[in-house]
Amino acid sequence: MTTLYETLGKETSIAAVVADFYERILADESLAPYFANTDMNRLKAHQAAFIVTATGGPKAYTGRDMAAAHAGLDITDPAFDAVAGHLVAALTAAGVDEATIGAVAEAILPLRPAIVGQ
């Protein structure tokens, strides 16, 4: 059985989607302030590792848990939704089909309570 990780094109493709994803986020005036004091290279590496793990890839995510990573950021539901929209756009731009995007969303969306309002 093919994993979601393999369907997404493994690490190289995931890293490319993550790079596009953050370009979109940083260009979004409503989201860019959340990342003002962030080491973006480090964040991109963590995000790629997280997605690799969440989609069944061979690496284990070793970053902080979601609540700790987002503590004090006061992320709102609209901000979470905007970030999710940018992820969908980055996946779409990479040629990922709708069913696979839906599967990625199913892996990510349950994290909302650990991210919003922390």
Alpha-carbon distance of 108 to 84, in angstroms, equals 9
Full domain range(s) for residue 89:
4-115
Tens of pLDDT, residues 56-109: 999 778 888 889 988 989 999 999 999 999 999 999 999 999 999 999 888 888
Q: Say how many domains are in the chain.
A: 1
Domain CATH number, residue 48: 1.10.490.10
Work out the pLDDT band at 115, boundaries 50, 70, 90.
very high
CA distance 22 to 75: 16
Question: How many Å apart are CA 85 and CA 81, to the nearest integer?
Answer: 6
Rounded CA separation 86/92 (Å): 10
CA gap 99, 48 in Å, rounded: 20
Q: What is the pLDDT of residues 1-35, one digit of tens each?
A: 889 999 999 999 999 999 999 999 999 999 999 99
